[in-house]
Structure 1
Amino acid sequence: MNRAASVVTLVLLVGAGLGLTYVVQDASAPQIAREQRLLDSRKLLDVLAPDAYDNQPLEQPLPLAETGLSHSMLLAGYRATRLGQPVAVLLRTRTEGYAGVIELLVAIDANGRLLGVKTLRQNETPALGGLIGDWPNSWLATFAGKSRTAPDDAGWALKKDQGQFDQLAGATITSRATVNAIHDALRYFDEHRVSLLGVAP
C-alpha cells in the first residue's frame, strides 16, 4: 500500500471513529441529563426519606399565593406524593440573616408536622452562623416533629427571647431569622393546606 492510500485510510478511520463517538454521545445525552437531574433532585430533597415519595416534586412547582410572610418570603413550593397521595409539601423560603440572605427548604408532612429543614444558601460568618449550612445539621434537626401550634406562637422563639429553642452558639441573628422563617412556613402550610396538598377540604 502506498503512502497516499495509507493516509486516506487513516483519515477515513479517524473520521468514522469521531462520527461514532458523536452518535453515541448524542444518543446518551438525554439519559445523562436525566441522571444529573435525578442526582440534583435527590441532593435537594434529602430532607425526605427516599422511599417516602415516588414522584419528582421539583418538576411540578405549586402555584403560591401571598408569598410575603411575616419574617420571610416564599420562593417556591413542591408536593411530594406516593401512589398518587400527598405525603409532604416542600417550601423554599428566604429570610435575612446576619450577613445576608438565608434560603431554606422546609419539608412538612400532610398532617402539618415538620419533617426536616435544609439550608440551600447562606453567607453567614464561618464557624458561627455559617454552621447553618452544614448537612446533616444537628441544630436544624431539633425542629423535626414540630408544627405550627406545637409549640405555640410564643414558644416559636429562641430561649433568650422566652421561646423554646436553643440558638447556634454566637449566632443569635442567624438563629432567630431561621426560627421565624420555619414558623412562617408552618403557618403558611396550615393556612393553605388544601391547595398545597391538592385535596378536597
Structure 2
Amino acid sequence: MNELIHAIRGNAIAIGLFAIVTSAVIALTQVATRDAIVHNKEAFQARALYEIVPRELDPDLLDHTLSINAPELGLDEDALMYQAIQDGQVRAVLMPVIAPDGYSGDIELLVGINADSSVAGVRVLSHKETPGLGDKIELSKSDWILDFTGAEKTVGRDDSWAVQKDGGRFDQFTGATITPRAIVGATARAIEFFRAHRDHLLTPVTNTTQPQTAGVTE
C-alpha cells in the first residue's frame, strides 16, 4: 500500500511539473509571438510612412511625434502622429485614421497631409475587406490609393469628395463601392482635423521634446 501511495505521489508530482513546464513554454511562445506581431506591424507602418514622405525629406521622421487624442478620426485611444520636418519647418503630418464603415469592418489608414492642407498620401495599414474586390485599396493590388496624392479639398462640405457613384471625383471598384467610399470619407475627416488643429500640428517637435497632445482632451 505504501508503495502504491508513493507511486501515485510520484506520478502526481511529475504531472504537475510537466504542466508547469508546458504552461511556461506556452506563455513564452505567446509573448514571443505577440512581440513579433508588434514588431512586424511597426516595421510595416514605418515603410508606409516613408512611402508617403521620402526619407530624404526627413530621415528622423520616426522621432518627430505628437500624441493625439482624436475620436473624430475613429481613434479610441491616444495614438502617434508624425511630423515631417525639413529646415526647421513641418512640411507634412502623418496621422492614423480609422474608417469604421468598411464593408467588413474597420479599415486602418495612415493619412499624410501637407502643410498647405493637400494630401501627401494615403496608405492602408490593415483591413478585412473582400479579397479580389475591396482589397484593391492595397497598393500591392492596385494603384487606386494613389489618387489621393496631391488631392485638395475645399473647406467644409465638398461634394467632389465622394466616389463617382455618389457624384464625386474618386473611382469606386466594380462590385465594391462601400470600401472606397469609407476611405474617401476618412481621408476627408483627416483633412478637416488637420485644419482645425493646424497651428499646433505645424509646430515642430524635436528628438528631445516630450510627446505633445493634439486634439481636444478636456
TM-score normalised over the length of structure 2 = 0.65
Alignment partners' CA distance in 1, 2:147 and 2:85: 25
**2:91 matches 1:87:** yes
What CA distance in whole angstroms lies between the structure 1 residues aligned with 2:156 and 2:171? 14
62, 86, 104: which one aligns with 1:99 = 104
How far is the alpha carbon of 1:134 from its aligned partner? 3.1
Following superposition of structure 1 onto structure 2, how do residues 39-188 of structure 1 map, counting pairs within 5 Å? 42-45=46-49, 46-57=51-62, 59-65=63-69, 67-69=70-72, 72-74=73-75, 75-96=79-100, 97-135=102-140, 137-149=142-154, 153-188=158-193
Displacement of 1:167 in angstroms is: 0.9
Contact 1:47 1:117 in 2 (8 A): yes
C-alpha distance in structure 2 between counterparts of 1:79 and 1:162, whole Å? 33
- SS of 2:152's equivalent in the other structure is coil
What SS does the aligned partner of 1:153 have?
coil
CA contact (8 A) 2:119 2:150 kept: yes
Superposition deviation, residue 137 in structure 1: 4.5
Higher relative contact order (CA 8 A, sep 6+): 2
Q: Percent identity?
A: 36
Q: Name the residue aligned to 2:28.
A: none
Q: 1:87-142, CA deviations, whole angstroms, 9 ceiling, x for partnerless residues?
A: 11001101121012101101111111111111000110001001212338411111
The question of whether the paired residues in 1 share the 8 Å contact of 2:138 and 2:145 is answered with no
Q: CA deviation at 1:162?
A: 1.5
Number of equivalenced pairs: 160
Q: Give the drift of 1:150.
A: 8.3
Structure 1 position 77, deviation (Å): 1.6
On the 8 A contact 2:64/2:84 being kept in 1, the answer is no
Give the AA of the match of 2:97: T
Q: Which runs of 5+ in 1 are unaligned?
A: 1-35
Take 1:127 and 1:37, find their aligned partners in 2: how far apart are those partners? 23
Equivalent in the alignment of 2:213: none
RMSD: 2.6
Residue type of the alignment partner of 2:85: T
Q: Distance in 1 between matches of 2:183 and 2:142?
A: 13
Residue 168 of structure 1 deviates from its aligned partner by 2.3
- Change beyond 3 A, Cα 1:73–1:121: same
In structure 2, the residue corresponding to 1:141 is in which secondary structure? helix
1:145: how far off?
A: 1.1
Alpha-carbon distance, 1:43 to partner: 1.1
- Where do 5+ consecutive residues of structure 2 fail to align? 1-39, 205-218
Q: CA deviation at 1:143?
A: 1.2
